[in-house]
A and B are shown apart, each in its own frame.
Chain A
Amino acid sequence: MDYEIVIGLECHVQLLTQSKMFCGCATDYDGAPPNTRVCPVCLGLPGALPVINRKAVEYTVITGLALHCQIAEFAKFDRKNYHYPDLAKGYQISQYDLPLTRQGWLDVEVEGQTKRVGITRVHLEEDTAKNTHLGETSLVDYNRAGVPLMEIVTEPDLRSPEEARVFASNLRRILRWIGVSTGDMEAGALRVDANISVRPQGQAKFGTKTEIKNMNSFRAVKLALEYEAQRQIDVLEHGGRIVQETRGWVEGEGRTVSQRSKEFAHDYRYFPEPDLPPLVLSSTEVERLRAQLPELPEARAERLMARYGLSQYDAGVLTGSRAVADYYEAAVAAHGNGKAVANWVSGEMFRLLRGATLEIEAVPVSPQALAELLRLVDDGTIGISVAKTVLEEMFATGQRAGEIVRAKGLTQISDQDQLRQVAADIIAANPKAVADYRGGKPTAVKFLVGQVMRATRGQANPTVASEILEQLLNESNGRQPS
């Protein structure tokens, strides 16, 4: 039987604020000694009162706007009650029935098809403490407890693990783009949980779902959901029933395992948080925040395609982050040729960044410096292969292209006489390639051009070298090379 996979995501996003959601404790807990970013509020001491972090509310509204959500005119916080030491209060402050934003969408493109995925809601809550297990006890560090956490819930609109992966990746791009989160999955700044079920193709009713956690990378999202879909199909094919439960992805074993909670029945007994007055968002305030939204990645990609004639693929790569797009456009402004700059940024520059595991924010070559290098190529001072070497040098030393070319004497050789001498030597040294050429293999000249390039340490103008080689080969046709 054919099955349809149905997936909805719940993404938790740590916001890039200086202080926690309801108190002034710093959010820089990463690497800090345990329980040193803690105060009476996030420790739940009697009498301590929470106060809402304005920035976190603004970031959530901005995220809602970027995801085409409706912004609530009236929102409030609620207590989600549960007994678990990851929050000292005995409840998490979250939003239940009146979240800040709801009903938006985000497009994903999979295999050339664009699909609109509904966003159910984006709400604001607080992160929990970190637990580690030590024998018969657990250790609790409250540094993370109370860090602003935004929850983004999708409709069950995703139909494959690949769609889920692309959605998560697009969402991360937007979160980073608008500057509300690092989106770092490994560090836990973006945590993607999934609800997944399968149903026979054509059946209207959803199957029983399971919730999958612990997916710490986009790859893990795809692998875990592929595994889980197949597991559910196998259970059904063998006449079994799916148990609604939470399952954790075990990366090392490549499978999901049941995570039975001690709590036998969840009943969070939500009620309005009496310590926090509600939020009333005026349209003036919402419009003020909307005005802060930068041009979003998809709109920017469209513009790059229209303005610089980029392919959809190139435009996608160059809008991978806002910093990349800014770098690209600054280089185009300094150079002029959008297509050439696109090739250099997405090709050589990305290769060097990957090699050095750097983000473009830290690139030692300014957009203006890249433009200078490309101008040296344009005016024939250096060829492409030398330019690549020069870029490596610029990347390593931060020197400008002109200095490197002068210091190393890398100016391209287009001089006919000089190249004719080199070409003659190469012809003499490569009888086999010469014989191939004369035997009717014109492509053999490419090999000889390569040898000229090598002999001149990449400085020969390859077009001129090729012309001279063919000229010499044809001139001396019929004669044995000396």
Chain B
Amino acid sequence: MPLDLATVEQVAELAKLGLTDDEKARFTEQLSAILDYAARLQTLDTSAIPATAMVGGLENVMRPDEARPSLSQADVLANAPRSHAGQFQVPAILD
């Protein structure tokens, strides 16, 4: 299934990737190849196979509702490029 340029640009926007025109062309081709492969899987008859989200066989892994100590504010912010008044400071976002 060939992918068009507009779709690649939209995916790049959603993933916050700034791509050059060359990259867009290259990724259009590469992503198309990946989708082609996925399309081959789609042709298999899976009607007899239940939907599977995990293969580990685990279920109902839960913890009791007990509060435990958190990190210190200093540790939380240690890797932040910018912080202010105990908070992460990031480029302006819209709510």
Question: Which residues from chain A sit less than 8 Å from chain B, CB to CB?
Answer: 17-19, 24-28, 33-40, 43, 51-57, 76, 83-85, 131-142, 259-265, 267, 269, 272, 274, 276-280
Asked whether B86 lies within 8 Å of A38 as measured between CB atoms, the reply is no
Answer whether A264 and B61 are a contact pair too, CB < 8 Å, given A38-B70, A39-B70: no
Instruction: Tell me, rounded to whole Å, the shortest Cβ–Cβ distance linking A265 to chain B.
Output: 6
Q: Which 7 A-B pairs have the closest CB atoms?
A: A24-B68, A272-B53, A55-B65, A277-B58, A139-B87, A26-B67, A54-B62
Interface segment among B10-18, B20-28, B30-38: the answer is: B10-18
18 residue pairs A–B, Cβ–Cβ below 8 Å: A24-B63, A24-B66, A33-B86, A35-B73, A35-B86, A36-B72, A37-B70, A38-B71, A40-B71, A51-B61, A52-B61, A52-B63, A53-B65, A54-B64, A84-B93, A136-B92, A141-B88, A277-B59
Cα–Cα distance between A174 and B13 once the two chains are bound (Å): 43
Query: Given that A277-B56, A277-B60 are known contacts, is A36 also in contact with B70, CB under 8 Å in the complex?
Result: yes
B-side residues, CB < 8 A to A, are: 10, 13-16, 53-54, 56, 58-73, 76-77, 82, 84-95
Contact across chains for B60 and A279 when beta carbons are under 8 A apart? yes
Known: A33-B73, A272-B54, A277-B59. A137 touches B65 (CB 8 A): no
Q: Is the CB of B95 within 8 A of A274?
A: no
Q: Are B54 and A278 in contact (CB under 8 A)?
A: yes
Cα separation A278 to B63 with both chains bound (whole Å): 14
Residue of chain A at shortest CB distance from B15: A83
Please measure, in the bound complex, the distance between the C-alpha atom of A134 and the C-alpha atom of B87, giving whole angstroms. Answer: 11
B19 to chain A, nearest CB (A): 16
Contacts of A141 in B (CB 8 A): 86-88
How far, in angstroms, from A37 to B72 measured CA to CA in the complex?
A: 8
Which B residues are in CB contact (< 8 Å) with A265?
Answer: 10, 14
Closest to B57 in A: A277
A contact residues around B73 at 8 Å (CB): 33-36
Q: A262-B94, A277-B58, A278-B59 are in contact. Are A18 and B66 (CB under 8 A)?
A: yes
In the bound complex, do residue B76 and residue A19 qualify as a contact, i.e. CB atoms below 8 Å apart? no
Instruction: Write the nearest CB–CB distance from B59 to chain A, whole angstroms.
Output: 5
Residues of A within 8 A of B86 (CB): 33-36, 141
| Shortest distance from the beta carbon of B34 to any chain A beta carbon, whole Å | 15
Cβ B90 vs Cβ A138 within 8 A:
yes
Complex contacts, A84 vs chain B, CB 8 Å: 93
Q: Closest Cβ of chain A: how far from B55's Cβ, in Å?
A: 10
Question: CB distance B13 to A264 under 8 Å?
Answer: yes
Nearest B residue to A58, CB-CB: B65
Contact B67 A53 (CB under 8 A): no
Identify the closest chain B residue to A16 (Cβ): B65
- A38 to B74: give the CA distance in the assembly, Å: 11
Residues of A within 8 A of B92 (CB): 133, 135-138
A279 / chain B contacts, CB cutoff of 8 Å: 59-60
- Tell me, in angstroms, the Cα distance from A36 to B84 when the chains sit together: 14
Q: Is there an interface contact between B93 and A262, defined as CB atoms closer than 8 Å?
A: yes
Contacts of B62 in A (CB 8 A): 51-54, 57
User: Smallest distance from the beta carbon of A15 to chain B beta carbons, Å?
Assistant: 9
Residue from the list A17, A43, A136 in contact with B91, Cβ < 8 A: A136
Per the bound structure, the CA–CA distance linking A280 and B54 in Å amounts to 13
